[in-house]
Amino acid sequence: MGRKVKIVATLGPVSKSREMVCKLIKAGVNVFRLNFSYGTHESHYENFKLIRNCAAELGKEVAVMQDICGPKIRIKGMKESREISKGDRIVMSKKPSGEAFSITYPHIIDQLEKGDEVYFADGTVKAKVEKKTGDKLTLRALTSGQLREGKGVNIPKSGIKMSALTDKDKNDLKFAAQIGIDIVAVSFVETAKDILEARKILTENGSDAWIIAKIERKAAIKNLDEILDVTDGIMVARGDLGVEAGIFSVPGLQKEMIKKANERALPVITATQMLTSMLHSASPTRAEISDIANAVYDGTDAVMLSDETAVGSFPVEAVEVMVKALMDTQNHLPKIREIKPDKTEGFAHAAAEIAGDVPCKAIVSFTTSGYTARQIAKFRPRKPLFAVTFDEKVSHRLALVWGVEKNFCIDLDESENRMMYQFLQKVKKDEPYIVTMGSHAGVKGSTNMVRLLDKAAKEKIFERFGEK
């Protein structure tokens, strides 16, 4: 049984060479994340081409995901780093001067009042507003830590108004559409409108890339159902989510979000600090392995490595550890998830169940958009899932979906037998398969057939097309 849960790895300074990209793909990376908080369009395009070339050379299906930075608030105008002790006075202003520093979105200061809390540097420094004078805030440190230029700022107060897409994000989305990015992760999503706005930009620029909503704000949790109705998947972004909602709330929120996405057959990425110790150590902690396993039990489609593969000392080893943890954990999963299918998922559910009872090599999903493959994956069958598509872009994206072990791209044809013949030419002829297909080839949502492609059925197909 092959690995079911996928691995997303962030490309960075230590991993952007041809040698390292190839090593990471061989180790088990399924999706590469390009972090658009850093770098230029030129550098990202070079990395995009590098990933495509390495994947083609190795014969692997690998997706590329753009992660746009969104309205991440950061410290601005702090000339020197500053060690903060509990009780220290911190001054923040719209314009930096003297001891006062500013932030990248200074208009937020207008929305803060006395008593509001502000978190700096991923929540390591917590402070409370003591006084507001014009454009200046005086805060009192509640914890100790370090402040420096560029460190993140989080404001848990609800009602803070910020668009999820900055001008930079909009330009980055246009660029992603131009080069053919497979998946786009939208940061700091709050409502369904944020996803629809991103999709409009992609569509207008000729892209139908999947959109992943990063859930890291309280408002996104509140509006999760409406976001799930319009997105192609979600990321449980536990870093900023932990700051906004509190670290003790994250495990429960993770389970809730994954469950809801699973019910809709939407892929989920679980991210942040999965193997942080491996930034500087060749071995993980036991707690990290348990965290990875817990995400698998929760139902995640993918797990993500950030700094571990971008700037860490052991990027390949981190991927290898992730593979081992995922493989061992999936041995303890049930043969099929006991979940009631909705009225559109009957054939997908039947295929998953039949594959557990009938000897077969794999479940083969002929899919136009990837939707049927996602539906089958929803039920978590133990047998491998092969996806047969008519669009290379869809084939790339399915690298993110749970259980899709192989992708095949064939020519669209009106004859279902001719399409099956194309598929059979790419695999071993003596192995049986459970096949799902639609009566209207190439039409999304038309799947209405489950078929056993055994030796006798295959012989008829080969005989029809002139092969014995």
Any catalytic annotation for residue 460? no
The answer to whether the beta carbons of residues 353 and 423 sit under 8 Å apart is no
DSSP secondary-structure letter at 101?
Answer: B
Any catalytic annotation for residue 214? yes
For the chain, the distance separating the N- and C-terminal CA atoms, rounded to the nearest angstrom, is 30
- The CATH superfamily label for domain 73-154 reads PK beta-barrel domain-like (2.40.33.10)
| Nearest one of 195, 272, 267 to 241, comparing CA atoms | 272
Same fold: 6-71+165-330 with 346-464: no
3-state SS assignment for residue 337: coil
φ, ψ of residue 11 to 5 degrees: the values are -80, 135
Give CA–CA dist 272/307, Å, rounded. 9
CATH topology of domain 346-464: Pyruvate Kinase; Chain: A, domain 1 (3.40.1380)
Please provide the CATH number assigned to the domain covering 6-71+165-330.
3.20.20.60
pTM of the model: 0.92
Show the tokens assigned to 22: 């190839």
> Residue ranges of the domains in the chain?
6-71+165-330, 73-154, 346-464
Give CA–CA dist 440/416, Å, rounded. 9
The answer to whether the beta carbons of residues 388 and 435 sit under 8 Å apart is no
357: phi > 0 → left, psi -120 to 50 → alpha, else beta; which?
Answer: alpha
Q: Which amino acid is at 404?
A: V
Any catalytic annotation for residue 272? yes
HEC string of 52-93 equals HHHHHHHCCCCEEEEECCCCCEEEECCCCCEEECCCCEEEEE
Single out the catalytic residue among 166, 231, 270, 272: 272
Q: Which residue has the tokens 């279902």?
A: 416
The answer to whether the beta carbons of residues 142 and 185 sit under 8 Å apart is no
Give the residues across from 270 on adjacent strands. Answer: 236, 303
Any catalytic annotation for residue 74? yes
Give CA–CA dist 166/71, Å, rounded. 6
Single out the catalytic residue among 214, 218, 374, 397: 214
Single out the catalytic residue among 74, 140, 170, 361: 74
Show the tokens assigned to 289: 């392995």
| Nearest one of 79, 25, 95 to 320, comparing CA atoms | 25
Give CA–CA dist 222/258, Å, rounded. 15
Single out the catalytic residue among 33, 217, 378, 458: 33
Per-residue confidence in pLDDT tens, the chain, 468 aa: 799 999 999 999 999 999 999 999 999 999 999 999 989 999 999 999 999 999 999 999 999 999 999 988 999 999 899 999 999 999 999 999 989 999 999 999 999 999 999 999 888 899 999 999 999 999 999 999 999 998 889 888 767 777 889 999 999 999 999 999 999 999 999 999 999 999 999 999 999 999 999 999 999 999 999 999 999 999 999 998 998 888 999 999 999 999 999 999 999 999 999 999 999 999 999 999 999 999 999 999 999 999 999 999 999 999 999 999 999 999 988 776 777 788 788 899 999 999 988 999 999 999 999 999 999 999 999 999 999 999 999 999 999 999 999 999 999 887 888 898 999 888 877 889 999 988 666 666 667 789 998 888 888 888 888 665
